[in-house]
Structure 1
């Protein structure tokens, strides 16, 4: 057996040695409080970022680029792995989580600006990011930004796009709250690596409005880019 799997199984032994009672009420059912749609990047700790080690609380969905839809013969539909908890487990919160330095957004950016060779499966995923990221490039203040900074702006734009897909979908129940956030481990938003920053709530992206409407988490709300102007570090 590959050494990596052996090490993973050893860590699983520690996990399994925790009290069995964690599963008592959820062995046959689940009612998670939220569904999170995160990038599947290995640096994004989908449960740990929320301090969660309780089974049954968060329904986690992961893919490159934290995408919420899939192309079908009927057009783009919210993917089944996102819709399942919203329809079947009475989950009322969906959180789209992008992250600084996103590899999928970086590769899509390169795909739009230069020749990039990728396997067909990866290319298929990038094709779903390309259209809206191309739109973003047309309004991005690119002369003022390095490629690294531009990519982190596009991370926000991608989160906003995914949130809008959920908000505008007829399949998503109206009473579901949709939040867009960025997980930062590159000291872009603050010096606290791993901190989650809220950038969008139900399609609203104006920072001042979001802070006024959510005073209890006002210090967790901030953006790098409000379309039309680039924010300084002090403003985020």
Structure 2
């Protein structure tokens, strides 16, 4: 696999970037890693980086974006926060990745059996975790049918909806990214990772 260069990045369309992630996940699921020399990539990227994607994912130890999409050093920007929620720092990082550094796709990657989503559904209150989990409330309110306890199936629905909420917030709260998407410079897309199978489903 070639190391990302400015020329490769410049010639990629958002669709191509999307396809690279899909193909990478197919390899991951099949346990067929692309051949790459990580030491060579360290040297090749030492003078600059030209990632084709920025991925916001959860801190969950089972969902490392580089591995899930079978990517190497210098290929993607990886932003991680519990519950893959949006805040000003995350938006600023995404704007840097796309507007300044040239990435062609912004992905919000949720996952099944998410501890942060489960905690939010169970109304956990603890230190700074409280304000973080509150960002998941819009997804909870969209799925909640009554005041009864959430079922495991409903928690998974909240996880899926939470990705959609984050995508909506990106478009509403980042005029820079929204304009880039409108102009066809980038794709903004949600996805969900299944911790049982390793498969990523794009929304």
- Corresponding residue to 1:99 among 106, 111, 114: 111
Unaligned runs of 5+ in 1: 1-17, 71-76, 187-192, 200-236
Larger Rg: 1
**Superposition deviation, residue 176 in structure 1:** 1.7
Aligned equivalent of 2:130:
123
**Superposition deviation, residue 136 in structure 1:** 1.1
User: TM (normalized to structure 2)?
Assistant: 0.71
Higher RCO (CA < 8 A, seq sep 6+): 2
Aligned equivalent of 2:93:
81
The answer on 1:154 being equivalent to 2:158 is: yes
Query: Which whole-Å CA distance do the structure 1 matches of 2:99 and 2:161 have between them?
Result: 27
Query: Which whole-Å CA distance do the structure 1 matches of 2:38 and 2:105 have between them?
Result: 28
- Determine if contact 2:143/2:157 at 8 Å carries over to the other structure: no
- Corresponding residue to 1:137 among 143, 153, 157: 143
List, as ranges, runs of 4+ consecutive aligned residues in structure 1 with deviation greater than 4 Å.
140-143
> Greater helix share, 1 or 2?
2
User: TM (normalized to structure 1)?
Assistant: 0.62
Equivalences, count: 161
Q: In 2 relative to 1, CA 55–61 (structure 1 residues): closer, same or farther, beyond 3 Å?
A: same
**Superposition deviation, residue 146 in structure 1:** 6.3
CA-to-aligned-CA distance 1:143-191 (integer Å, 9 cap, x gap) = 9x961000000011100011112233312123220111100023xxxxx
> Greater strand share, 1 or 2?
1
Query: Which whole-Å CA distance do the structure 1 matches of 2:113 and 2:194 have between them?
Result: 9
Counting only pairs closer than 5 Å after superposition, residues 219-230 of structure 1 correspond to structure 2 as: none
After superposition, the CA RMSD in angstroms is 2.3
Query: Which whole-Å CA distance do the structure 2 matches of 1:82 and 1:19 have between them?
Result: 25
Q: Secondary structure at the match of 1:81?
A: helix
**Superposition deviation, residue 95 in structure 1:** 0.7
Aligned equivalent of 2:45:
26
- Corresponding residue to 1:65 among 80, 83, 94: 83
**Superposition deviation, residue 142 in structure 1:** 9.2
**Superposition deviation, residue 19 in structure 1:** 5.7
Aligned equivalent of 1:73:
none
Aligned equivalent of 2:176:
171
- Determine if contact 1:142/1:150 at 8 Å carries over to the other structure: no
Q: Secondary structure at the match of 1:157?
A: helix
Query: Which whole-Å CA distance do the structure 1 matches of 2:156 and 2:105 have between them?
Result: 25
Q: Secondary structure at the match of 2:128?
A: helix
